[in-house]
Amino acid sequence: MKGAVAITGLGLVTPLGVTPWSTFAALLDGRTTADRLDEIDETIDATTLAQATGGCGRARFSPVDPAIEIAERAARDALFEAFPEGAPEPVRTIVASSKGAVVALINALSRAPHEHHEPAALGPHGWLCDQLRRRLNLGATTSVVAACATAAAALHQARMEIVSGEHETVLVVAVEAALHPIFVESYRRLGVLAPIDPPALHRARPLDAERCGFTLNETGAAVVLQREGVHPRPQAALTGSALAAQAEDIVRPTGGFRVLQRLIREVAAGPIAAVHPHAPGTDANDAAELAAIGEVLDAGAPAYALKGAIGHSLGASALVSSVIAVIAGRAGRLPPMPWIRKPVDGLPVSPGGTAIEGGEHLVLAAGFGGHVGALTISVR
């Protein structure tokens, strides 16, 4: 379905900042979560290491689930930016999270399962939606889950609902805050985490020839999308979105990135100012992904890999990258990537950052199981 929608509010909470612009300022300074390794003990388990490097202050010591805490902060900022005098009515909301509000649920059920009927009945995703709806007085709130392409799926659904006329405004909230042994050890056993022994090696290096896995984080992001013409001063526009799935695992592909290339062709109608690839930093993904993108795009737009700075935001990744794309477009610059020593081939990669001009930002997402998403964002 053709049609652009306006982006009128932004919210972002990351390990490097509590707003979009504070996070972007840290990125411009070349800061990364790996900077915290200097303060970490040499003998540390994987989960504590993930919390120490990718943890977010808004989540630590929260009386509620960390995902609820971070998502609420990001959503409040986005809503206030779009509606400084208050929204005229409860806003339709789509929540994107691969894990949901799962940490507090795990802890509660392990202590006293008979006292937590509602969270257990709703599940981690339903509970996250319910808590955000109550805390923020939101309208109809639903959840989307598509592995690491979850936020791309949520943005696509939101855009379709607005373009079709079903809703005039949709809030999209994405969050991942599940630095729990169940999940950290699962990724470690899969062999996709950066090394933890010694902890000094636990660095994400996407788009670098010596990449060896990703790190994790706690991150929340939010955008308010509205029908074009409703808001007097939109910040950007979501001009295109496409979603698909392929029968193989795109993160460890055996047949290339054919579906991803098709989605790029669908959404990339004009000049591309910058590409924000999925680029998790795994050995099997990054070089193949950039090569596939380079085959589709006529001009060599520069690539920026956010996960090297803040870690992998899992299901929230596409929305986090979309918020950074808006800020980068407004600033006219992509941040540096100090972790890169030898860039992979496929697209221009500048370790020192690069100035960018007008054009659309292409944001890509891919998940275990073959979920694939592509988005284009035009900055006003």
290-318 per-position pLDDT tens digit: 999 999 997 689 999 999 999 999 999 99
- CATH code for the domain defined by 5-227: 3.40.47.10
What residue spans in the chain does CATH classification 3.40.47.10 cover? 5-227, 236-379
Strands 5-13 and 169-176: unpaired
* DSSP of 121-145: HHHHHHHHHHHHHHHHT-SSEEEE-
Looking at residue 112, its pLDDT comes to: 59
- Please state the length of the chain: 380
Strands 360-366 and 5-13: unpaired
- Which is more confident, 224 or 231? 224
Burial call 51-67: b when 16+ CB within 10 Å, e when fewer: bbbbbbebbeebeebbb
Nearest to 367 by CA among 147, 153, 43, 84: 147
pLDDT-derived band at 124 (thresholds 50, 70, 90) equals very high
Looking at residue 113, its pLDDT comes to: 54
Average pLDDT for residues 31-42, to the nearest whole number?
A: 91
Strand order in the sheet with 360-366: 141-144, 92-96, 169-176, 219-227, 5-13, 236-245, 371-379, 360-366, 272-276
**Residues 353 and 334: beta-carbon distance below 8 Å:** yes
- 185 has a pLDDT exceeding 60: yes
Report residue 309 CA to chain centroid gap. 13
Residue 5: which H helix or E strand, with range?
strand 5-13
- 55 has a pLDDT exceeding 90: yes
Query: How far lies 327's CA from each of 176, 188, 217, 239, 333, in Å?
Result: 21, 33, 21, 16, 9
Tokens of 57: 């202050």
pLDDT-derived band at 345 (thresholds 50, 70, 90) equals confident
Locus of tokens 């929260």: 62
Looking at residue 251, its pLDDT comes to: 52
Distance CA(354)–CA(274), nearest Å, equals 10
Class for the domain spanning 236-379: alpha beta
- 3-state class (DSSP) for residue 311: coil
Query: How far lies 79's CA from each of 20, 66, 349, in Å?
Result: 14, 20, 34
Looking at residue 257, its pLDDT comes to: 84
- 166 has a pLDDT exceeding 90: yes
Nearest to 350 by CA among 298, 275, 251: 275
Mean pLDDT across the chain: 92
Alpha helices in the chain (DSSP H): 20-28, 46-54, 66-82, 103-111, 117-136, 150-163, 181-190, 258-267, 286-296, 307-310, 317-331
Looking at residue 122, its pLDDT comes to: 82
In the 8-state DSSP scheme, what is residue 35?
A: G
Which residues are registered as beta bridge partners of 11?
Answer: 222
Average pLDDT for residues 127-138, to the nearest whole number?
A: 96
Distance CA(53)–CA(45), nearest Å, equals 12
